[in-house]
Chains A and B, each alone.
Chain A
Amino acid sequence: MSIKVILDKCTGCTLCVKACPFAAITMVDRVAVIDLDACTLCNACIESCKFDAIEIELEKESSTDISHFKGVWVFAEQREEKVQNVAYELLGEGRKLAADLKTELAAVLCGSDKIEEEAGHLFAYGADKVYLVTHPELKHYKTLPYSRALTELIRTHKPEIFLLGATTTGRDLAARLAIRVGTGLTADCTGLSIDPEKKILQQTRPAFGGNIMATIISPNNRPQMATVRPKVFSKSPKKEGAQGQLIKYKPVISEEDLTVKLLEIVKDESVKINLAEAEIIVSGGRGLGEAKNFKLIEELAGVIGGAVGASRATVDAGWISPHHQVGQTGKTVAPKLYIACGISGKIQHLVGMQNSDTIVAINKDPDAPIFKVATYGIVGDLFEYVPLLTKKLKELRG
């Protein structure tokens, strides 16, 4: 396969030069020339060209028969035997995809025998079917036993779409599973839709640190797998008592899947409220100046029952533990209220919090990008405003 410019059609308009995210196109004698070493065949130039002057030649593979694959599956991630919210969010979005495909929506729940108690919640949030996969070794997530169990399940029941949360667990598992079942995987999606004609999953995700968005398909392989960023999609309203089909499955897990041992889980005492679940988050950035000033953030968070968040810069500087980091390489959050104190708002931070309902930004620099996403902006000194807000809110609460 290769990419080429059709010289007769190229008008030298330079649109493709601007469109190329990888600086792989230059103009030579007023026609576009593609540097094949820099080109990643991303398609951006082809989209930009108004004259159909760029072509990718793809040798189409006659792939395996994919018409037998039916249904949308959602991985019901559980921690400490509680299904995580991201699974319910995926059921909400999965319901729309299943409707567009006129197919069924299933949840896959793995755990020890006790996990069956959670199946009811999955029906209540919209699953038509729950595959209940139980084995003592599935109580806590471990890569190899989970990969074994799910590979068998996928091979037997052949879903056309399989969605997992883009959590540490979802990303660890999906990456291994996709290779084993021989299919494509798109990471950390923020948009999903069905191509109305081809009936395939269109997966949109941020790339380049959130600077651009890419839409990705996996046309010839099944299931179409994606990890999906938490807090991007909404749950469907819960229907208590909803029923569905429960399919019990007991996987065979061999000794070789048990070579990695889980020794210990270490809790972080500085995490008082879980960021991902918090309704209010107060976050501190470089503007705090030094580690001890996080106390101001903690005090404000304490008064309004919020969790403490942090920008990457403060985590990198060692002012606060990484469990508090919000952003592209940290957590994605979408609380009712996000208060950003002394955070400039680089794109990598914004992608982690811009879906919050209400955003308050306090920053000295009126040009800070954080103000572009803020519902309410305060151009000023956080050392004045944060203690003042703490004091006033404390008075208010008596």
Chain B
Amino acid sequence: MMDLIVCIKQVPDTTEVKINPETNTLVREGVPSIINPFDENAIETALQLKEQHGGKVTVITMGPPQASEALRTAIAMGVDEVVLVSDRAFAGSDTWATSYTLAQTIKKLGNFDLILCGKQAIDGDTAQVGPGIAEWLGIPQVTFAVKIDVDVDRRRSKIERLLEEVNEIVETPLPAVVSVVKQINEPRMPSLKGLMKAKKTEIKTLNAEAIAADIKNLGLKGSPTQVVRIFTPPPKGGGEILQGETAAIADSLISKLRERKIV
């Protein structure tokens, strides 16, 4: 039996975000809010581990009230329990304050064998919250996991990590925090039955007081980093489009590359 906790984040689908070339600002209309894709892999990992070993999957998210939609999707995928951690005091949290808040929530929930996260969120792209949670809880972390085997009796897990050029196989004692990459699995679609259940579920919400958080570690005030400026990168000017017949274009390209002493 395993107690599995998955930390997820609701994000704007950044692959759908576009820049208005005239105003040079983000075009937000029609950009859907989704579960961070890597976190869907983490949910799938937890569901598969539960299928193998038995146990319970709890999904938590920190965010505004509308983040409960992400939790409903998780229920529809088949998780057992969900918790929304939400409080005005959390606004402006950087990864330091976020990992503190999630770690406090996990302590509050009690028993756990494995905490799963996506490798990073597609809006912030930091990959810092998973290791941060591990440090706050004082347990090992294994990042960029592409394969996880658990030996429940020995309370150890063998994990393959996807690194730049190689993969690394490590063995960690449980409990541990593991962040997963996309290649680990194909997340399942929500089932019809799951969707019905999700609709009816009342979302359990915890605020700062409920997780016994130290207020000075929360939100903007608890965040060592501050965003001082946000801007749109200047658009790149395009280069030269080669014109002509196929063979002439190929020759022209090769001679240009030779001029530049590249080939």
Contacts and interface: CB of A to CB of B under 8 A. Distances in A.
A388 B262 contact: no
Contacts of A59: 221
Interface string B86-118: 001001101110010000000000000000000
Interface string B194-206: 0000000000000
Given A260-B170, A271-B165, A39 B132 contact: no
A244 to B, nearest CB: 29
A202 B231 CA distance: 14
Count chain A CB atoms within 10 A of each CB in B17, B119, B164, B250 and give the residue with the most. B164
A168 B262 contact: no
B219 interface: yes
A263 interface: yes
B250 A385 contact: yes
Interface stretch (A90-98, A107-115, A179-187, A289-297): A179-187
Given A40-B92, A41-B92, A268-B165, A180 B25 contact: no
B52 interface: no
B249 A380 contact: yes
Nearest to B243: A379
Nearest to B250: A388
Contacts of B154: none
B51 interface: no
Contacts of B167: 265-266, 268
Given A175-B130, A179-B136, A393-B263, A371 B172 contact: no
A167 interface: yes
Nearest to B31: A23
B253 A376 contact: yes
Nearest to B135: A179
B193 to A, nearest CB: 28
B173 to A, nearest CB: 5
A213 B126 CA distance: 14
Interface stretch (A68-76, A217-225, A232-240): A217-225
Contact of A213 (B124, B226, B233, B247): B233
A219 B221 CA distance: 12
Nearest to B94: A184
Interface string B219-235: 11101111111111101
Nearest to A388: B250
A337 B263 contact: yes
Contacts of B153: none
Given A322-B181, A337-B262, A43 B143 contact: no
A248 B66 CA distance: 53
A260 B253 contact: no
Interface in A193-234: 202, 206-221
Nearest to B16: A209
A180 B223 CA distance: 14
Interface residues of B, number: 96
B2 to A, nearest CB: 19
Interface in A345-394: 346, 348, 350, 354, 357-360, 366, 371-380, 384-385, 388-389, 392-393
A392 B254 contact: yes
B26 interface: yes
Nearest to B139: A259
A336 interface: yes
Contacts of A182: 224
Interface string B13-29: 01101110001011010
A209 B171 contact: no
A274 B163 CA distance: 12
B209 interface: no
B144 A389 contact: no
Given A168-B144, A206-B233, A1 B254 contact: no
B127 A21 contact: no
A275 B165 CA distance: 8
A262 interface: yes
B221 A378 contact: no
Given A372-B238, A373-B236, 14 more contacts: A1-B219, A1-B221, A58-B220, A61-B221, A178-B128, A185-B225, A216-B227, A219-B226, A220-B224, A263-B171, A264-B168, A376-B239, A376-B241, A388-B246
10 contacts: A43-B230, A44-B230, A178-B96, A178-B224, A184-B94, A206-B233, A209-B122, A304-B263, A378-B241, A396-B263
Interface of B: 12, 14-15, 17-19, 23, 25-26, 28, 64-66, 88, 91-92, 94-96, 99, 119-120, 122-132, 134-136, 140-144, 146, 158, 160-173, 176, 181-183, 216, 219-221, 223-233, 235-242, 246-247, 249-251, 253-254, 256-257, 260, 262-263
Query: What 5 A-B pairs have minimum CB-CB distances, sorted nearest first?
Result: A184-B224, A209-B14, A41-B92, A175-B131, A187-B126
